[in-house]
Amino acid sequence: MVQNEKELKEKRLKEALYLFNHGEYFDSYYTFGNKREGENVRFTVWAPEACAVAVVGDFNDWEENTLLEKIAETGCWTGVVPQVEEGQCYKYKVTQVTGEVAYKIDPYALEFEVRPNDASIVKELPQKNWKDGGWLSARKRWPIYQRPLNIYEVHLSSWKQHDDGSWYTIPELQEELIPYVKELGFTHIEFMPVMEHPLDASWGYQTTGFFALSSKYGTIEEFQDFVEAAHLEGIGIIMDWVPGHFNRNDYGLAYFDGTPQFEYADPNRANNNRWGTLNFDLSKKEIHSFLISNALFWIETFHLDGLRVDAVSNMLYRDYDEGEWSPNEKGGNENLEGIDFIKKLNTIVFSRHPSIIMAAEESTSWKKVTKPVSDGGLGFNYKWNMGWMNDTLRFFEMDPLYRKDHFNLLTFSFMYAFNENFILPFSHDEVVHGKKSLMHKMHGDRYNQFAGLRTLKTYQMFHPGKKLNFMGNEFGQFLEWKFAEGLEWESLEDEMNAQHLAFTKALNQFYKEYRALWELDHTMEGIEILDADNKEESVLLFLRKGKKPRDFLVICCNFTPVERQNVRVGVPFRGLYEEVWNTELEQLGGTWTKGQENFNTETIEKHKQAYSIEVILPALSVIAIAPKYVYGAAKK
């Protein structure tokens, strides 16, 4: 009986390794790494060109060579080590093809020592009894395309710190961050990378342990509890994921068996000069198994609601990096195997989790990023709109006197707003490295800076596309983000910052209340441009629409600090309209003590509409007008 059980285990192991070698093992973390077998632990690692692999650790005094057996033709080594305890440290002692000996981390380790130590730790995958079934069921029933998506981006260790500079633990963040985000009305939190990484200055984008929550943040169990608590409060969790490249420290994945194993053999393709990392060789089937398993590990182990896939352009192009590059077999600059990998990744993820968010951080004009693979697309369901972000911030940073000469920076986005399913991001990348905070980018004195920031944030919210803002944007932090310090929470003692926080809460709630702002985000039916040609006054007018004819808002933007009187605006139906949003209201930080009276339509054609109203556009503002009592909407 024991012999049959042993043979069955060996058979299953060989079947798993076969699938791994063929790029079809998407649960490989169940086999690789350390896996308990009674009082013993089986260690399994991929090192195809190694001459020998041993496990050294606390359980054998780091000296005795517990050699692993190479499974023929798989490139994998495995072996059972007796009397290994949870929490003990270990590494692989790899005799490389060159004859040199290297001590390497376990690529599949679920936990690591706290820096500066770097050993892998024996850790079983926790079996949590989740309580967020209601959230997951609702996510399946209501497609995210037709729901509000308003993301609060967070760097885990610099959102808030203790007085002595120490970081908040994950349980402490659970107690403070989740209620804060809920109170402000954001729908999701997006964490910058939380995987194991040695250098804080990399912000987590140079990963060593892809299957481990960074030990300096906390434990797997704590992060699972955080996600569950967020879901129970109606907040989704998205995470940054970096599948294109990895940290090149000697103890990590770099030249693991002494040869280009995880990285490309061509040095021009392996070396990522811009980020000082190594690029994954996306032509290898084993890398497919490793990375797709990793995506599913984070989604399934932590019940994540989505992944923001970093640096997609780096996987799409051979010449995206600085320096020399090698063309593909057709002479082009496309990374053909990278394209195939991305399509495969999204196909597999969506086959198992159709309601998940897979958002591409892709900075070029690559076509069909968010189209299905079956239609020739890359298969993501969202893309960060970097063009919109760059153009919009350029426009808002300039003196309003000159904005009329660059009005196309604002209006150009309407030409391509529905080419992809876009997220409009004001992310961490825009408030660091001398770029200034969003508030500091605004032109003029302190009052006009806040007025500009209210206008910018409202314009973002009213423009088609889902939304993302980095922490600190919500209260108008003046200094740019510093990864080693907490946010400037003391600035909330200033009345203007406190008012801006109240403005953000009101804006987020307004966004969720009006279906016209999110129900048809990804189709031209969701917007109708009334006037995008008034560059002399820098005034932009458009309608946002929901599915029902009556669900619409009239959006009026004034991008200069000059009040515009008697502005005639076309509206689709006869009746009575009311102002429902005005960035210059006193309670939002402006100077208007009250809003405008209701507007009665006149039978004066304007902006290709049969009716029109006359409004005042406050200086440097955005107002929204909604139908109150109108005729004819129900007939359409």
Which residues are marked as active site?
310, 361
What is the distance, to the nearest Å, from the Cα of residue 602 to the centroid of all Cα atoms in its chain?
46
482: left (phi over 0), alpha (psi -120 to 50) or beta: beta
The Cα–Cα gap between 384 and 359 comes to 7
The Cα–Cα gap between 371 and 378 comes to 6
The Cα–Cα gap between 455 and 540 comes to 12
Strand 236-241 versus strand 188-191 pairing type: parallel
The Cα–Cα gap between 210 and 273 comes to 21
Residue whose entry in the numeric block shows the structure tokens 């079996």: 127
Whether the link from the prior residue into 116 is cis, omega within 30° of 0, is yes
| Amino acid at site 634 | A
Q: What does the block give as tokens for 550? A: 């009556």
Taking alpha carbons only, the member of 579, 584, 559 closest to residue 569 is 579
The Cα–Cα gap between 204 and 199 comes to 7
The Cα–Cα gap between 212 and 450 comes to 41
The DSSP element (H or E) to which 270 belongs, if any, is helix 267-270
Other beta carbons within 10 Å of 544 = 25
Cα end-to-end distance, the chain, whole Å: 74
Residue 75 sits at φ, ψ, to 5 deg, of 75, 10
Rg (CA), the chain: 27
Q: What is the CB-side half-sphere exposure of residue 275 using CA atoms within 13 A? A: 24
The Cα–Cα gap between 294 and 213 comes to 12
Q: What is the CB-side half-sphere exposure of residue 364 using CA atoms within 13 A? A: 13
